Each structure stands twice: as structure tokens, then as C-alpha cells.
Chain A
Amino acid sequence: MNLLSLAWKSLRQRRTGVLLTVVTIALSVFLLLGVERVRVDARRGFSSTVSGTDLVVGARSGPVNLLLYAIFHVGEATNNITWKTYQDIRAMPEVSWTVPLSLGDSHHGFRVVGTTTDFFVHYRYGARQALSFVQGSEFSDLYDAVVGAEVARQLHYKVGDSIVLAHGLGGLSTALHADKPFRIKGILAPTGTPVDATIAVSLEAIEAIHVDWRGGMRLPGRETSAESTRHMDLTPTAITACLVGLNSRLSSFAVQRAINEYPDEALLAVLPGVALGELWHLIGTAESALRAVSAMVVLVGMSGMLTALLAMLNERRREMAILRAVGASARTVFALLVVESTLLTTLGAALGCLLLFGIVAIGHDYLLAHAGLVLELAPSSSEWGLLVAVIVLGVLAGAIPGSIAYRRSLVDGLQVRL
């Protein structure tokens, strides 16, 4: 009879306690791997918020700042880029495409982005995925709007609904562009990026709703109707930022330098990957905190197992004495307990992995829609490392009751002390 089957049968005998222990370990492994999965995938999702864009250009500030307001819609731009400058950038020979972004308005807390239909063509996220529509299509009329998945979900919008934009980002009802309502033309599929919480309209529409405004204030007595605005020249004078795609990635640095040294205006061009890395660095502490918490959870799970093994040890003195009497060495007794804890940890770890797999499989779409999180079904390489660490920890934990039983079996001899 080998040690493994002996340990297995002994565990089966104590199945209730063993099951609880395995479930404890499974839950902590689930939590540990779950946190790791979320961490890795959130980071991956974050760093691929903008994936097909070579440069993000805005007025000169800091790279993180530019990224925050242009891509993540956090904070406000310090300055604008003039339309002429934008045209100059567009005309650079290395530049393949540009997408203008005009920010500053909102709708129920969601940011409004003035852009062109190129946005739907060139904006890429994740593994170079393009935006897609779950309903409707891109804007074509002046007063058409396209809403992100999160906007549609929270405000229960569907294609054809009429919405009114607010001036500024505060959502104050006094500054509504109530005279020029928009019609929802399309709803985007969830992406897990800030696009989900965005309302996209055309650049001309941004101009149109501001014809009666100067310096953030409505000019008193002027009320140009929505229809008559259509006949005005709606070429924008300025935009907030723009996304730039190049013909060749090799020219990234050259174009970046050219834009940064643009003589007529103080501009800043950043490589989104680099700036995203800097930004992630800022929130890195939260990441380590998460890891620390999940490591503690594993320690709690392990001490739970240790407690269970130690508690069972007393009832098992008889078992140990019998094994000693039939010729098992004290080392065998030690090995038996280590094999047991290894079995428990391995079972718990396997169950935890299975649990994570199941929950990710079931919750994948929900998490994308509600948390903007894209979770992979397959474990990342760091998870394997953690799993090995947990099992090693389990083996080490088994060495504690093992060595107690070892010492006892030397002292007790063949006496059964109960």
C-alpha cells in the first residue's frame, strides 16, 4: 500500500473537514488568481486603450496630462490647437491619417467629443480592434450623435432618441444647448475603453451649438435656430487634440520632434504607449496593494489548512501508532502528512482555478459591459508562478504537523495516547 493511497483513503474518511479545508484553499486561490487576472488584464486593457494611433497631439502641457484629457476625458485641456495648425499636421508627408477631437461639452456627466467619421475608421483599441455598432451607424446629419455602450446602458438610450447637450462639463441645467437637440444615430459596442462613456458628434455640430456663444457665455439676444445654423460656415477655428496615424512607425520620433518644434504654436506630441506606461506607473501603488491583499488571503487559507491538519493530528495519534507498529518509520509518518497537505493544496488550487475559469467564462460579457474590463479565459504566465508558489506553501505547511507527528511518534513509541 503506497503512501499516496493511504493518505487519500485517510482523507476520504475525514471528508467533511477535508472538504471545508479544500474549499477554503480553493477560495483563496480563486481570489489570488482572480486579482492577478484582473490586474494583468486591466493593465493590458489600459495600455491598449489606444492601439492603432502613433501620436496624440495637443497643446503643450505634460504627456500624462494630454493623455488624461484627450483619451481618458479626465480634466480639461489647458489650451486648444488652431484649425490651421491641425491642417498643417494633416499635410505632413509622413502622416497617413488624423482624427480631430474637440472636447468641452457633456451630457449627463458623459463627455461629448466632436470629431469626424474618421474616428470610427481609425480609432483602434485592444488588439487593434476597430469600433463597431450594435445599433445604427455613424453620424451623417449635422445633429446626429453616436453614443458609447456605457452611455446607452446607463441612460437607456436607443437609436432615434433625442438628446440635449450641456455646455461645459458640470452638467448645469442653466447652460443647456436646448435649442439644438441631437438625434441618436448609432450605439457603439462595448470596448472597455473611455469610448464607452463618450458621445460622439461631428466637429461641425460642435460649431453649430456654439454659434451664439462667446467665451463660454451665451450672447444675449442671439438665437440662431437649428435650421438656419445649417447654412452657416461651420468650419471649426480650433480643436482640443488630435490622433495621428503615420505611414511608417519608424518616423514616429521624427514627426514627434517636428510637431514639438512647430514654430507657430506650442504643441505636444506623445507616443501613446509611452505616456500610458507613465500613467499606469502612477496608479501602480493600488496594484501592489491589491497583490498584497490577495497574498494575505492565501496566507489565511493556508493557515486554515494548517489549523485543520493540526486539529486532526490529535485524533490521529492512534493511526500513527498503528503505522509505526507495522514497520512504518517516523519519516513515513512525516511524509504521510506532507503528502496529505500537498493533496489538499493541489485539490484546492485545482478547484480554485476551475472556479475562476467558470466565473470568467460566465461573467466575461457582464464585466465588459458593466466594468469595462476584458478578462482573458486563459491564465497568464504570472498566474502559473503564483499557483506553484501556493502549492509549495502547502507542502511547507504540511511539514509543520508532519514534524510534530514525527517527534511524537518517536516519543510515544507504540503507546496510543488519547
Chain B
Amino acid sequence: MIPYGEVPLVSCRGLQFKWPGSDATLTMDDFSVAPGERMFLCGPSGSGKSTLLGLLAGVMTATRGEVTVLGVPLSTLSASQRDHFRAEYLGYIFQQFNLLPFLSPVENVLLGCAWSPVRAHRAGLTRQAQRAEALRLLDALGLVAQLVERSRTGSLSVGQQQRVAVARALIGGPQLLIADEPTSALDTDSRDAFLRLLLAECTRHGTGVIFVSHDMNLARHFDRAAALGDYPSSQMVA
């Protein structure tokens, strides 16, 4: 769709964010991510990490500056256009509690393309095909089909839930995956295994990754690492 190397996946220019009702301002460095690139962002809490992710996902809007995704400046879109756009390009993984407990694991995965006709189409032409793709993804992430089919979402372990979350983020092949400390609830062994599976699937889909964590040990898995909050320019200005 977008030729590799020509248009950056994400680029931020002169980003500034002012919280409504307060004087605190967050200024962020310019940065860009190439299609398929894996970027590690190290950000301690309070570094404006959540705000940056909100801006990248288009759920928040910058006070100044511009976020451009796939060549589209987000500020040119209306709120509902941004919502549609987000559904198309972005897969998002939360720190934990990623799943809706009242949906089955497979339904949770399919939720990833519920608001995106493009991703739904890419995942499969029929509901059965989409379901099969969801099961394939889960299988690739190391979840046995039997387990997924049989168990309730609530009875999955944290590691299993995070894998279902990855499957949801990746179904229909979005261009960008944002992971907000998805490994913080996992122990070291399962953390590395989880990360390998995650990155392997992203490579397979050609999906670019912005991975946020405070654990610098993970940086070695990525093409590039950057730190939020260490920069003099990305501090909170009261």
C-alpha cells in the first residue's frame, strides 16, 4: 500500500501538549518510525508516555505540532475520522487487563477488526475465515486452539491474556502496533518468550512496533531505542 521507505509510518514534529484546565505543558522531541521498524521507548512513569501514546493513537490531539501517520496529518481529520483511521492502522496492547471478560478469547481477537472493514477484509472474507485467522494467530502465539475454544476469557492466565491481546492487535495486519508495557505483569522467562512471539508475528505482517517499557533490558530486541524524559526538551514545564 505505502511504498517502504518513502513515507514514514509515524512522524512527530514539534509536539506540545497542554492538559486541559492546567498550566502543565509537555513538549516532545521530533521523532519518526519507518514502516516495519521496531522502536523501543523507555519511559519512566510521569514522563508523558501515556500522553504520547494517546497522541499517536489519535485519541488525544496535540496543542501544537503535528502527528503524521502514513502521510496523513492527524490534525486534518475530524474526531470520528481519526477513530476510523485508528481502527485501520493501529493495534494497541495495554499493560494488562486487555480483554473484555464477557467475550470469548476468539471474540476478543475479532474485536480488533470490528471497527475496521479493511482489517476485517484482510483477515478473511467470511466470518468463518476471520475466525480461522484468529485461531491461526492464537496458535502462532502459542495458544492451543482447544484451550482457546474451551476456556472463558477470565480463566486465562495473564500471559495467555496478553497473547490474546497481541492477536487482537495484529488481526487484519495493521501498519503499527503500540504496546504499552505489555510485559510488566509477566515474569522474566515468559516475558522473553512473549516478546519473541510478538516480534515474530509483527515481522510476518510487516507491522511497525512502538514498544514502551521502563525495562531497558528489553531494548536489545529492537531496531532502535529512545528514552522519554531523559531529553531535556521532553520535560514537564510547569
Q: How far is the CB of B19 from the nearest CB of chain A, in Å?
A: 9
A318 & B51 in contact (Cβ 8 Å cutoff): no
B111 & A413 in contact (Cβ 8 Å cutoff): no
Contacts A9-B102, A411-B20, A413-B60 hold; do A326 and B112 have CB atoms under 8 A apart? yes
Contacts A321-B94, A326-B114 hold; do A413 and B59 have CB atoms under 8 A apart? yes
Chain A residues lying within 8 Å of B112, measured Cβ to Cβ, are 326
Contacts A1-B114, A325-B92, A326-B114 hold; do A9 and B54 have CB atoms under 8 A apart? no
B114 & A414 in contact (Cβ 8 Å cutoff): no
Q: Is B115 an interface residue (CB 8 A)?
A: yes
Q: How many residues of B contact A (CB 8 A)?
A: 35
What separation, in Å, do the CA atoms of A414 and B101 have in the docked complex?
18
Total A-B contacts with CB atoms under 8 angstroms apart = 77
Chain A residues lying within 8 Å of B107, measured Cβ to Cβ, are 1
Q: Is A319 an interface residue (CB 8 A)?
A: yes
Q: Is A322 an interface residue (CB 8 A)?
A: yes
Contacts A327-B84, A327-B116, A411-B20 hold; do A322 and B98 have CB atoms under 8 A apart? yes
A322 & B100 in contact (Cβ 8 Å cutoff): yes
Q: Is B168 an interface residue (CB 8 A)?
A: yes
What separation, in Å, do the CA atoms of A44 and B84 have in the docked complex?
58
Specify which of A9, A318, A409, A414 lies most central, judged by the most chain B CB atoms within 10 Å of its CB.
A414
Contacts A413-B50, A416-B94 hold; do A325 and B100 have CB atoms under 8 A apart? no
Pick from B54, B103, B111: contact of A414, CB under 8 Å? B54
22 contacts between A and B (CB under 8 A): A1-B107, A1-B114, A9-B102, A10-B102, A318-B97, A319-B100, A322-B94, A322-B98, A324-B59, A327-B87, A327-B90, A328-B87, A328-B115, A329-B80, A329-B84, A330-B79, A331-B80, A332-B115, A409-B59, A413-B50, A413-B54, A414-B92
Residues on B lying within 8 angstroms of A by beta carbon are: 20, 50-51, 53-54, 57, 59-60, 79-80, 83-84, 86-88, 90, 92, 94-95, 97-103, 107, 110-112, 114-116, 168, 180
* Minimum-distance CB pairs A-B, first 9: A327-B87, A413-B54, A327-B115, A13-B102, A329-B83, A325-B92, A413-B59, A9-B102, A413-B60
